[in-house]
Amino acid sequence: MSLLESIRVALEGIRANKLRSFLTTLGIIIGIAAVIAVVAIGQGGRAVLMSEMEKVGTNIFAIYPDWQSGEQPSGRSFDLSDVQVLKDKVPGISDLSANSVTMDDVRGSKDKKYSQVWGVSAEYEHIRKLNIKNGHFFSKEDDSLGRRVAVLDQALAEEIFGRSEPVGNKVSIGSTPYLVVGVVAKGDSMLGFSEEARAFIPSRSWTNMFGPYINNLEGSAVSREKVQEAMDQAVKVLERRHRDNKYISYSMEQQMQSANKITGIMTLIIGAIAGISLFVGGIGVMNIMLVSVTERTREIGIRKALGARRKDILTQFLIESVVLCVLGGVIGMILGAGGAYLIAKVAKWPPLVSWWTALLAFTFSAAIGIVFGILPANKAAKMDPIEALRRD
């Protein structure tokens, strides 16, 4: 019997038992819908995460003292002159900033807040692509002279100045007065970089005030491809200059790769859980196919008497279970894609139902049909025609 004819016979059987067929395939529908939705949401979430990270910059990197391989950082891991030396010696570096951070009271005209106080170089603005709302970021000259100028982020500015304009006014960091020269606008980033209350002051001013404790160097490479090379060279130069220290480097590129890996693993795990429901659905299909084979014993006997080989009977029931599962798969795919689309719309993610997920779901449901159809089909094929014809 031809494949087309087998499919026609299978569809006749399914149409004859509409409700039962639907209930049988419900497990497959739910399973496929869950897999499609989960994978689509995972893909959408990953795409959002990646675009956020790209917004921060794909060619930025940071160098830290390696705490594991040495003693506690002496505080002398870096000094301010490193910045210029590295920029001269490593051609791949585009901008570089010496970063330090501490917590201190920051007092404005209205209120004070215990906030992060960052010592950074002037180039920090470019590295982090800061969006200056009012005024300007401090200059290289401010930095090299250690001027007492500060840039606040919007959250801090609003808290300590209220509605009054902070630019041109004074803040006290600890007990030292600083002139506010700029306010960093709140970013639209979902990663939270611009949500905290922070004050930025030139790194030289910071070391003058709090001591020579430089936390890390942060910079950007001339291109995404040059990041690794620039980092490696910078670490070598640093290790020559500070012989007792080891350094470790991170890049956004690496972070993106590991974030990619993590979201991939998450998708896989949730997908596997959804896959279990597919397995359960498959068992349901097997169950009903076994019932169907028993019910249609007489039909099997007739077909055998008319010349059906074992192979023909096997194929007929196998195709019936595959058709059932694939129908479920297609319905599940539509529901899953619809669900993913809805969730993506609410979460403002791109709905990502890729053609390969659809293909995978299709193939997978067909495979379930074969795997869970083989036992009932084999039972049918092995039936003795005389016994089968005798049955009511």
Partner 1 sequence: MMIQVSGLNKIYNSGEHPVHALIEVNLEVKAGEFVSVMGPSGSGKSTFMNILGGLDTPTSGSYRLDGIEISSLDDTGMAKVRNRKIGFVFQNFNLLPRMTALRNVEMPMLYAGLNARERVKKATTALERVGLAGRIDHRPNQLSGGQIQRVAIARALVNEPAVLLADEPTGNLDTRSGEEIMAIFQDLNRSGATIVLVTHELDIALHTSRIIHFRDGRLEADEKVENPLDAVEQLKKLGPAHQNSPRSGEISAPGALTEAVPHSQTLSAEQGRKGDAR
Q: Which C-beta is closer to partner 1: that of 188 or that of 392? A: 392
**CA 365, CA 349: separation in Å to the nearest integer?**
27
In angstroms, what is the minimal distance from the CB of 315 to partner 1?
A: 11
Instruction: Map residue 356 onto helix, strand or coil.
Output: helix
Count residues contacting partner 1 (CB under 8 A)?
23
Which of 3, 16, 19, 346 contacts partner 1 by CB under 8 A?
16
In angstroms, what is the minimal distance from the CB of 26 to partner 1?
A: 23
Beta bridge partners of 184: 132, 153
Beta strand pairing call for 176-184 and 198-202: unpaired
Tokens coding 210: 């709090």
Q: Which stretch binds partner 1 (CB under 8 A): 1-9, 57-65, 154-162, 352-360?
A: 1-9
Is residue 5 at the binding interface for partner 1, with CB under 8 A as the rule?
yes
Q: Which C-beta is closer to partner 1: that of 15 or that of 348? A: 15
Q: Which stretch binds partner 1 (CB under 8 A): 133-141, 214-222, 263-271, 382-390?
A: 382-390
In angstroms, what is the minimal distance from the CB of 377 to partner 1?
A: 15
Tokens coding 321: 């279970």
In angstroms, what is the minimal distance from the CB of 375 to partner 1?
A: 19
In angstroms, what is the minimal distance from the CB of 385 to partner 1?
A: 5
Residues 278 to 337 in contact with partner 1, rule: CB under 8 A: 298-299, 301-312
**CA 213, CA 86: separation in Å to the nearest integer?**
18
Is residue 2 at the binding interface for partner 1, with CB under 8 A as the rule?
yes
Q: Which C-beta is closer to partner 1: that of 191 or that of 386? A: 386
**CA 339, CA 349: separation in Å to the nearest integer?**
13
Tokens coding 25: 């395939």
**CA 248, CA 232: separation in Å to the nearest integer?**
9
Helix (H) or strand (E) holding 274: helix 252-295
**CA 165, CA 87: separation in Å to the nearest integer?**
36
**CA 292, CA 380: separation in Å to the nearest integer?**
10
In angstroms, what is the minimal distance from the CB of 4 to partner 1?
A: 9
By CB under 8 A, name the binding residues for partner 1.
1-2, 5, 12, 16, 298-299, 301-312, 385-386, 389, 392
